[in-house]
Amino acid sequence: MTQAKTSVIILAAGMGKRMHSSIPKVMHTLAGRPMISHVLETVSQAGYSDIVLVVGKEMEKNHELFLPYQTVHQRERLGTGHAVKIALEAMGEMPENILILYGDTPLISASHLNHLVRIIEDGADSALLAFKEDKSNSYGRVFVKDSHVDKIIEASDASSEELKNNLCNSGIMAVSGKIIINAVNQIKDNNSKKEFYLTDIVSIINQDGGKTSFVECSKDECVGINNKSDLAKAEAIIQEKYRENFMQKGVTLLDPKSVFFSFDTILGQDVEIGPFTIFGPGVSVGSNVKIKGFCHLEHAVVSNNAVIGPYARLRPGTNIDEDVRIGNFVEIKNSQIRSGAKVNHLAYVGDTNLGKQSNIGAGTITANYDGFNKSKTNIGERVSIGSNSVLVAPVNIGDDSVTGAGTIVRKDIPDNSVSITEGAQKTSIGAAEKYKAQKKLKTKKDNEDL
């Protein structure tokens, strides 16, 4: 099998200075997960499993993300050429093909990776992915002679004339295992940044009598992320792809541009999503579900025929069963909302099991945290919780029970019971006229005193 003869090197040790962040560059997220995870998934989709990642010391705490692959620590970041060199040293026996990817170029497709490898298998010494970008940019420029790559000149070392060349280097390349060590060992740091540029390998291969082919692909696929503006650009590209994909599968997006998905969002059939809705990671939505505008969902399951929002927030651990209604300004966290239940207005439901067909009145809060511990609220089936109730957890409310408006539930309520908090409500019959006159007089006097 082709893939067994191919080893992959992913460069991910760069400081990412241009991000102006304490987070290592490749750990910045795109569609809800670190950009390096997108690269790893694409490599694995392409069928490669022999992978070496070059990482910096800041990434040590993220090592689980890279399992089961091998990581090599680049202590001194001396450039992309140096990073490849230390990866090769760690690899031992050379495979037939080496595929090199940059961790900051996460939108590349598996098919283009395979294409590069095929070119090497067909006898080329190396092959790279190039793309056209007409706007001013800092990508290395790819110079072609006799339909092969002659050289790459980094933007920081290029003359204004050279910068007019709009064929750019994606950084992704495949190199024959027969020549790579010899070529990489010849890379020097005689450039404006005093770094060992991997891109110099092209001229070196030429000098040694070899050839570098290139494949042109779309600039969207090759976007390299060096700063927050690039990150936003990549996010826009990936979101556009997800939106299109979902719409092609029958999802209705009322305003596609304002809906954001995560890499793992699952949506069933006949789902309708209103504007300004954000899907964080871990959301799965069943069929015939309406998510009205301005909702935020994260690590939540929404089952068939539910209606969510507008303005609802489903936090991690939320399970919404079939035919549930979650209305405006409702927050649900770590709770099971059983089929047919309704939480329609202004409520917080946390660490709760809400039984089938139960209704939570407007303004109700589950007081699940006493400053030290989180506690559970269990509400049975067909329960009616009156508006503005406070359910002080841990507490259990039995099936078919009712709480009055404003009830503070501190003790368990058995099945089929009515519970109200009696406050002393005093009513003076016929006193309204006198009360209003007194109020008017007082306001007049207050104004005169000013």
Choose the stretch contacting ligand UD1; rule: CB under 6 A; options: 73-81, 88-96, 243-251, 266-274.
Answer: 73-81
| Residue 138 touching Mg ion (CB under 5 A) | no
| Residue 340 touching ligand UD1 (CB under 6 A) | no
Among 7, 14, 231, 251, binds ligand UD1 (CB under 6 A): 14
Among 9, 46, 104, 283, binds ligand UD1 (CB under 6 A): 104
Rounded least distance, CB 226 to Mg ion, Å: 5
Rounded least distance, CB 12 to ligand UD1, Å: 5
| Binding flags for Mg ion, 204-243, as an x/- string (CB under 5 A) | --------------------x-x-----------------
Smaller CB separation from ligand UD1, 98 or 395? 98
Among 32, 34, 106, 140, binds ligand UD1 (CB under 6 A): 140
Among 13, 65, 306, 341, binds ligand UD1 (CB under 6 A): 13
Smaller CB separation from ligand UD1, 32 or 103? 103
| Residue 201 touching ligand UD1 (CB under 6 A) | no
Among 8, 168, 326, 402, binds ligand UD1 (CB under 6 A): 168
| Residue 106 touching Mg ion (CB under 5 A) | no
Three-state SS sequence of the chain: CHHHHEEEEEEECCCCHHHCCCCCHHHCEECCEEHHHHHHHHHHHCCCCCEEEEECHHHHHHHHHHCCCEEEECCCCCCHHHHHHHHHHHHCCCCCEEEEEECCCCCCCHHHHHHHHHHHHCCCCEEEEEEECCCCCCCCEEEEECCEEEEEECHHHCCHHHHCCCEEEEEEEEEECCCHHHHHHCCCCCCCCCCCCHHHHHHHHHHCCCCEEEEECCHHHHCCCCCHHHHHHHHHHHHHHHHHHHHHCCCEECCHHHCECCCCCEECCCCEECCCCEECCCCEECCCCEECCCCEECCEEECCCCEECCCEEECCCEEECCCCEEEEEEEEECCEECCCCEEEEEEEEECEEECCCCEECCCCEEECECCCCECCEEECCCCEECCCCEEECCEEECCCCEECCCCEECCCECCCCEECCCCCCCCCCCCHHHHHHHHHHHHHHHHHHC
| Residue 66 touching ligand UD1 (CB under 6 A) | no
| Residue 154 touching ligand UD1 (CB under 6 A) | yes
Has 345 been annotated as catalytic?
A: yes
User: Where on the chain is the footprint of Mg ion (CB under 5 A)?
Assistant: 104, 224, 226
Catalytic residues: 345
User: Where on the chain is the footprint of ligand UD1 (CB under 6 A)?
Assistant: 11-14, 25-26, 54, 74, 77-80, 82-83, 102-105, 139-140, 152, 154, 168-171, 197-199, 224, 226
